[in-house]
Amino acid sequence: VSASSTETRVLAQRALAGDARALARAISWIENGDAGGRSVIRELGLAAGERSTRARVIGLTGAPGAGKSTITNALVTALRARGERVAVLAVDPSSPFSGGALLGDRVRMQGHAADPGVFIRSMASRGQLGGLAAATPMAIRALDAAGFDVILVETVGVGQAEVEIASAADSTVVVVVPGMGDSIQAAKAGVLEIADVLVVNKADRPETRVTVRDLKNMVALSSAQWKPPVVTTVATTSEGISGLIGELDRHAQWLAESGELDRRRRARARDEVLAMAFGAVRSALTGPLLDTLAGQVADGNLDPHAASEELLASAGCAVPRA
Ligand SMILES: Nc1nc2c(ncn2[C@@H]2O[C@H](COP(=O)(O)OP(=O)(O)O)[C@@H](O)[C@H]2O)c(=O)[nH]1
Ligand SMILES: [Mg+2]
């Protein structure tokens, strides 16, 4: 047994025992794609599989400024009051809980920082293979193994990231703010399709009723088995947060009873394995032979099918001929 694998095992054991610093370090390894990260994942992953109850993974997405961090803070407080251990992953290149955090956020999160039942971590892309899409599910698995009851994943709702995170969550909360423009934007971006619960935050604003009606009308058109409820919140005062938790509990129950939880977790694992395999294949195939074959294809001396077969054969992969 080498020193590094002993170190890995000790780190994993400390993380599993609830040592927040060890857990933070394990997640850094995962995030950086360090060699140690892989064995930590193996150790933690096995432990996660042995747990009788798994963590609930709740994703929060929505436009910047919609109130995701404020809602997350309020949820942490409410879930802690029920005695649940809560982990927060803020997945945002602009690091909402560190450098880019508002003063108010920092003050609130400092309140939770003294609580051993709360773990907060922001994840930023460091340009690794697969980036955040690869690191986030692994970090979720580590937190699950460490015994958290709930994992809240906040992600900034722009572009592809939100869809990736949605596939990593059991329940996805889409946060919008009052105003027709926003809800139409949300619909256009396809976020309504990923929403399990819709939150109209900043319900202290006058356009709230119109937006709620608008969203309810859209939901009513859905033929899905689960129709996302529309919840209003004023996150800054925690108004509506208990209602949100009620709907999340109802969704969790539906997920378990309908078999959808199992289906989602399998789909998530499938995406994760496939993304990792694609990454490995891509790096195995990228090299001088690819450049040579590409040159031949460009010059019209080789057809691309034959080139791809030769490339695959060079890496020991065989594909059935069409
Ligand atoms: N008026 C009002 N302001 C809110 C509410 N929720 C959040 N905010 C404010 O909106 C701003 C953005 O909130 P934040 O949680 O950082 O949004 P995020 O970018 O989605 O994480 C902050 O100044 C919050 O204090 C609310 O319900 N009502
Ligand atoms: Mg935020």
- pLDDT per residue over 161-211, tens digit each? 555 665 689 999 999 999 866 666 666 557 677 899 999 999 999 999 999
- d(CA 139, CA 30) in angstroms, rounded, equals 7
Query: Can you read off the two tokens belonging to residue 8?
Result: 């890995």
- Give the mean pLDDT of 232-239: 97
Query: Can you read off the two tokens belonging to residue 174?
Result: 């889409």
| Confidence check: pLDDT of 262 > 50 | yes
Query: Given pLDDT bands bounded at 50, 70 and 90, which one contains residue 12?
Result: confident
Q: Identify the nearest ligand to the CA of 96 by its number.
A: 2
Query: Given pLDDT bands bounded at 50, 70 and 90, which one contains residue 101?
Result: very low
pLDDT at 96: 42
pLDDT at 76: 96
Closest ligand 1 atom number to CA of residue 62: 20
Its pTM stands at 0.85
* Residue from 60, 68, 70, 244 whose mutation best tests the ligand 1 pocket (most atoms within 8 A of CB): 70
Q: Identify the nearest ligand to the CA of 70 by its number.
A: 1
Closest ligand 1 atom number to CA of residue 70: 15
| Confidence check: pLDDT of 304 > 90 | yes
Half-sphere exposure of 52 (CA within 13 A, CB side): 0
| Confidence check: pLDDT of 102 > 80 | no
Q: Residue with the nearest Cα to atom 13 of ligand 1? A: 67
Distance 35 CA to ligand 2 centre (A): 31
pLDDT at 51: 72
Report the percent of the chain where pLDDT is more than 70: 80
Amino acid at residue number 163: V
What lies within 8 Å, CB to CB, of 65 at 6+ separation is: 177
- Give the mean pLDDT of 246-255: 98
pLDDT at 1: 40
Mean pLDDT, all residues of the chain: 83
pLDDT at 185: 62
Helices vs. strands in the chain: H and E counts, helices first: 14, 7
Query: Can you read off the two tokens belonging to residue 82?
Result: 């029920």
Distance 236 CA to ligand 2 centre (A): 13
| Confidence check: pLDDT of 135 > 70 | yes
H/E segment holding residue 57: strand 56-62
pLDDT at 95: 46
Distance 188 CA to ligand 1 centre (A): 23
Residues with CB under 6 A from ligand 1: 62, 64-70, 96, 102, 104-105, 201-202, 204, 234-236
Half-sphere exposure of 249 (CA within 13 A, CB side): 10
- Give the mean pLDDT of 39-63: 81
Q: Which residue has the higher pLDDT, 191 or 231?
A: 231
